[in-house]
Chain A
Amino acid sequence: MVRENMATTVHQPPQIRTRPDPSRLGQGRNGGGNPTRAGGSPRVALDDSSPASRTGIWVAIAAITMTFAAFTSALVVRQGASLEAWHLVLPRILYLNTLILLASSVTLKIARRRFRSFLLGAEGERVAVLRGLYATLALGLLFLAGQYMAWMQLKAQGLYLATNPDSSFLYLFTAVHGLHVLGGLAGLLHAIRQLGRSDLRASTLAATSHYWHFMDILWLYLLFVLWMRL
């Protein structure tokens, strides 16, 4: 990534805040805007002063929700149109994967809490934050591997993407959700790299973790839909 000669953004070089700045507290969004400019001092570019990533992640979550709502409606309509009754037993490993994904959210939560005390000056917490992020990353990869194992189990049963409607949706949901989890892993890597350079913003970590928790909720929802159906 080229770091010089970029076109414009409004962000100051990211900096770690050491003390909460009282002048920034309670500042609303409305008409706030362009926060890096307030006061004219580069130090005011606080790491949580950019609400764009916070808004952005909710916008992304809204779009992903719509996508899966469309898939769900497809499942409902498809079920209504289908005359045959298919019965597919969900691979048991999916439940284990669910636990792994939930555990990864816990480690991320811990990392985020440690990051807060790191921001407040506890330099030694950096290792704890890193450890939490790496643990989340590892659990996320493990989850994806588990999903792949589930596919292998289906394949062993002779169930392929086109075998019947249920297997179609099972493959489809796990694949599209998996792709979104990959996006979350990229976000985690980004955060880890920034932490290594000491320019991780709280807002970046918050956005990453909101997204990651959303992946949990989405997966629980998909599992529920599949379980209801299958």
Chain B
Amino acid sequence: MHDVSGQAAHHAPPQGFVRKHVFSLDHKVIGKQYYALALVAVLTGMVLSWLMRLHLGWPNLAIPGLHWISKTGAPGNLMTPELYLQLMTMHGTIMVFFVLTTAPFAAFGNFFLPIQVGAEDMPFPRFNMMSFWVTFVAFLVMIASFFVADGPTLGGWTQYAPLSAVGAVAGPGQGSGVVLWAASIGIFCIGQLLGSLNFITTTLDMRAKGMSLMRLPLTAWAWFITSCIGLTAFAVLMPACILLILDHVAGTSFFVASNLVINDQLQPHSGGSTLLWQHLFWFFGHPEVYVAIVPGMGIVSHVLITNMRRPLLSAKVMIASMGAIAFLSYMVYGHHMFVSGMNPFSALAFSFPTLIITIPATIITLLWIGSLYGSKLRINTASLFALGFISMFVSGGVSGFFLAQPSIDIMLHATYFVVGHFHLVMAVAAIFGIFSGTYFWFPKMTGKMMNETLGKLHFWLTFVGAYCIFMPFHYLGIMGNVRRYAQFVDDYLQPVLGVHKFITVAALLTGAAQLIFLYNLIHSHFWGKAAPENPWQATSLEWSIPSPPPFDNFGGKPPVVYHDPYQFGVKGSMGDYIMQDSPEPSPTGD
């Protein structure tokens, strides 16, 4: 298991293009590769959502070029309901797995975790390289399903059985589309398990001298906690995918009950349990939302502390709350299944921890707000996006209180209320965390500064846009607007078509605003102002080395850590802060 082939101490830097940039063992290159993958994935997912939104707003609109995506699904470039569902499934899957998991956790975590703990690299660089390339293959397999006869699966990112398990009889894409989906997600799980293995061992075993656990920056804690969640969650999703594939290709009956008739055809399966898939899936699925959000919590804390120039009210409480969220995340998954037909008593049993998990989440929010109160926050794009994260997290989180109660959830389940809830609290919040991290760490990752004016413009357009898109979802949901319907032209939802049009316009404009970010990212990468070593006067170890860092991070001189991660508001030799590896004494003695 132990990789010892990379040589240590005074080894030469990697030579050749392939070793340096493609099959690199360097955690920083792997982190950037993950970031690039997430960027491609998020653009794909966003285009898919535009197509869906266009159809929801203007159901009879022919979308030029739609037949390129699916011949059967778009006669005359008009979207069929099946194609709508296929786009929706791929949007959800790509965003959750290949963006919200890869960017905040795998991309930033790979790049910065080893540096922040003071290590040259992760302990198993080969596993690390495999982790990325396996994830990349998973993405290719997922995209490949666009190119099979029936197109991708239409079962939603949750892929509920039995319709996901019986094959093509359940609709276009439910045959080979589901098999490709399950194979892709199974492969993805392997990649994330390898990544988590590296993250956990890096945090526990690779820390520099003096870097005790309590001296780890909050980002490092967040990645560590996330990798613990990921390790257990992905280890459960993988067997679920294996069982799903077996139901397809080997004719087993894990998820299909006896005597099931689909499309007038009696299914040959017998004796399986439909609920089993939901249990296995949500045992992964709920922790997964914390895989997406906890790294964001770490990034936001890190960015805010640096820009407030003072530490959080209590870093220990922050860490304990993130830990509590991780622990509780396994006991709440049943709240996705209140209307699944499971025992009402279990609904109650899942409702309690669901309400309890809001306590650590609230504590974290209050820690941020309490620490912000009265601070002279430096307003830059990174800190704006961190504030935006808090805003989205709170706005989306509040609707969670309603959904956590089975009696109310029966009304709101499978409506746009839920869609609005999870997009704000998990998706947009996590994306804001990614943006915050990007604007904050870009100088370190590339050695170039990003344009702050464009950044702030990008923030305000995205911030206002995200609310315009997702706030109306809640009202639609309360009105009874069901999710996953391709169009609402002939029924009681006709009057809300105007709202859908408004959301569509907002989505297109907000999406267009991301071009500013893309331009900023690419332009700054090549022509940006050179970044100094420590542009934000931050204290953690990544700011003590050149930008971009050399291949062995610390140039062969391992750092020694003398201080807590956030020594701000003190009298140091360089200003109002003391770096973690600075031997000068701190007035607080930490």
Contact = CB atoms under 8 A, between A and B. Distances in A.
A205 B116 CA distance: 30
B239 A67 contact: yes
B257 A56 contact: no
Contacts of A70: 235-236, 239-240, 280, 283
B209 A31 contact: yes
A196 to B, nearest CB: 14
* Size band of the interface chain A makes with B: 35 or more
Interface string A198-230: 010101100110010000000000000000000
B120 interface: yes
A77 B2 CA distance: 37
Contacts, number: 229
A63 B231 contact: yes
B258 A80 contact: no
A143 to B, nearest CB: 20
State the majority secondary structure of interface residues on A.
helix
Interface in B11-38: 11-16, 19, 24-26, 29
State the majority secondary structure of interface residues on B.
loop
* Size band of the interface chain B makes with A: 35 or more
Given A162-B250, A172-B246, A10 B273 contact: no
Interface string B116-136: 011111011100000000000
Contacts of B211: 31, 33
A77 B273 contact: yes
B276 A62 contact: no
Nearest to B284: A70
B6 interface: yes
Given A57-B1, A59-B200, A74-B254, A80 B273 contact: yes
A204 B215 CA distance: 29
A66 B210 CA distance: 34
A33 B209 contact: yes
Nearest to A211: B1
Interface stretch (A46-54, A88-96, A113-121, A129-137): A46-54
Given A33-B205, A52-B124, A84 B271 contact: yes
B271 A165 contact: yes
A211 B1 CA distance: 9
A69 B237 CA distance: 11
B4 A52 contact: no
Interface stretch (B168-176, B321-329, B551-559): B551-559
A71 B239 contact: yes
A8 interface: yes
Given A77-B275, A161-B252, A172-B246, A6 B209 contact: no
Contact of A201 (B4, B119, B123, B202): B4
Given A78-B271, A83-B271, A67 B208 contact: no
A9 B2 contact: no
A57 B2 CA distance: 9
B125 A59 contact: no
Contact of A33 (B3, B206, B236): B206
B574 interface: no
B238 interface: yes
Contacts of A57: 1
B250 A74 contact: no
A30 B120 contact: no
B331 interface: no
A52 B24 CA distance: 21
Given A50-B2, A67-B238, A33 B208 contact: yes
Contacts of A53: 1-2, 123
A89 to B, nearest CB: 20
Contacts of A6: 5-7, 11, 14, 25, 125
15 contacts: A6-B25, A8-B25, A10-B206, A33-B211, A50-B2, A51-B205, A52-B201, A70-B236, A77-B275, A77-B279, A83-B271, A165-B271, A168-B246, A190-B2, A201-B2
Interface of A: 1-14, 29-34, 36-37, 42, 45, 50-53, 55-57, 59-60, 62-64, 66-71, 73-74, 77-78, 80-84, 161-162, 165, 168, 172, 176, 187, 190, 194, 199, 201, 203-204, 207-208, 211
Given A4-B12, A9-B125, A34-B558, 15 more contacts: A5-B13, A8-B551, A31-B212, A34-B119, A52-B202, A59-B201, A60-B1, A70-B235, A81-B257, A81-B273, A83-B271, A161-B246, A161-B252, A165-B271, A203-B2
Interface of B: 1-9, 11-16, 19, 24-26, 29, 117-121, 123-125, 193, 196-197, 200-202, 204-213, 215, 231-232, 234-236, 238-240, 242-243, 246, 250-254, 257-258, 270-273, 275-276, 279-280, 283, 551-553, 558, 561
The 10 closest A-B pairs by CB, nearest first: A52-B123, A33-B207, A81-B273, A9-B6, A7-B25, A66-B235, A6-B6, A53-B2, A162-B251, A82-B271
